Structure 1
């Protein structure tokens, strides 16, 4: 069997789970989506995703249920039934085992928790080698890149540091890929989680340039998880680049195209200059429907008299 046949089969099972997460899902249904026998479908699913299909489904349901409890005024029993748990008690036991606190306590206190945010198995096999800069396969730049300058207020950032990582993939190798789930769970976040390349003065000895974090208001004063840092950033201007929408499996090319555009961009033409020492450069999670987005700090050039 060709490796890509297996990857596509597991991806079809993932897609089926995403589409039917609030319904009963059987192994027979997953096998039909995969195009293989139930036994073989379960085997290749665990081989590539390191969880059995039903461990995966349960973790995903619990994480989606946690977001409902975080953001909506829903009763625990209603959330349990919405996510196909047979009873309030069964949901409470599973939730407590997964996150270390009961759903009722979580809905009252909403501390950061480690949500399960699975990666698309198809995309994971399209990554580029460690340390290699992604490049567009074609030699032409993205046809359209939207650029705007945005104000970032004074803010705090809860972040997770690596050791020597300078980009996403080595960061995941050093600290694991679960960080994004914790950051996504933070109710007080000003914006969505980001990957950041820190300026030198924000990098303590023995820690990485690339980190992942979430921005918070200056009045945030809640405890943060062990192993995370809370830092403050001054107001700054960010020049934000947004590429064209792309097919999800082509995220490598989309990142490479935007990086090539940024490498050749001349902010001086618009009255700005790069200010990489003043604030972190950041990237948003690449999502095909909106295009790849990255921001780089700038300062306005004072006009000469």
Structure 2
């Protein structure tokens, strides 16, 4: 067994026992490693200490219960391993910038620290070969766009760290932007029947450490709407990373970050970098699968 496989085994174990007591010794035994070496390896591969990671995953599950159930906040805290209401509130506020009471009163969208799939750091596949990893399927292909496509929507400046890797917590500005678009898209004319919803990430006028994020819908070329942003996807060849998950929430809450990290490593391995924008292309969700794509224009590092 590779070292990363030992750590992945304990990541699965942690996920199963978030409502139970979890000890370093038990996890180290499951990984067949000494507690000292286990903690060192975990920190190197997951970028968090074991106990920090457990706390963040407990907060993720606790926030789901706060939004979906009416249990007392103290009961939620105790059910997910927090010693008291005060301890839970302090950890919640530090992670998300608001208290559990404030979140329950106004359940905004949150970014969570995603459970990693470490295999994505070590396995490489060719173009057109699907990679099946636990709960997602990823495939890299090339696609030529013969004609430009036009999208209209709303944009906002967002910290780049919120969009990469699923390793930050806080209010999910991008998801809030999608909620806003959903309530306003009836104002946008000339929508293409069967067209895609999409998001564009680009620097634009964003300050250092941030980028512009636009959530939009596909419209007829030449459409302009006052008060809304426009993005024209140029006719070029794109590198497309398509990925699917069992449902839409899983797709946008974890699979999107896992595919992001895989694609970043895939491009580096193939001596490619992306141009100055990246695209998220959304497709209708069915009862069987939720699917989306990342589009980039690849440029050889050797050029």
**Please, what TM-score do these two structures have when normalized by structure 2?**
0.52
1:130-167 per-residue CA deviation (whole Å, 9 max, x = no partner) reads: xxx733289xxxxxxxxxxxxxxxx96778889xxxxx
Question: Pick from 54, 58, 62: which aligns with 1:61?
Answer: 58
Counterpart residue number, 1:281: 281
C-alpha distance in 1, partners of 2:43/2:15? 17
- Structure 1, unaligned stretches of length 5 or more? 139-154, 163-170, 208-225, 257-278, 297-305
Counterpart residue number, 2:39: 42
Counterpart residue number, 2:113: 116
1:233 pairs with 2:217: yes
1:98 pairs with 2:95: yes
Shift of 1:113: 2.9
The answer on whether the counterparts of 1:99 and 1:113 sit within 8 Å (CA) in structure 2 is yes
More strand by share: 2
The answer on whether the counterparts of 2:199 and 2:215 sit within 8 Å (CA) in structure 1 is no
1:19 pairs with 2:31: no
Question: Pick from 160, 163, 177: which aligns with 2:165?
Answer: 177
Runs of 4+ displaced beyond 6 Å: 155-162, 241-245
The answer on whether the counterparts of 1:157 and 1:233 sit within 8 Å (CA) in structure 2 is no
Residue pairs, 1:156-167, within 5 angstroms: none
Distance 1:58 1:158, change over 3 A: farther
Residue pairs, 1:1-305, within 5 angstroms: 5-126=2-123, 134-136=127-129, 176-178=164-166, 182=172, 196=198, 229=213, 231-233=215-217, 281-282=281-282, 293-294=291-292
Shift of 1:203: 7.2
C-alpha distance in 2, partners of 1:72/1:158? 32
C-alpha distance in 2, partners of 1:175/1:280? 11
The answer on whether the counterparts of 2:77 and 2:83 sit within 8 Å (CA) in structure 1 is yes
C-alpha distance in 2, partners of 1:90/1:57? 15
C-alpha distance in 1, partners of 2:168/2:76? 23
Q: How many residues align?
A: 206
C-alpha distance in 1, partners of 2:173/2:123? 25
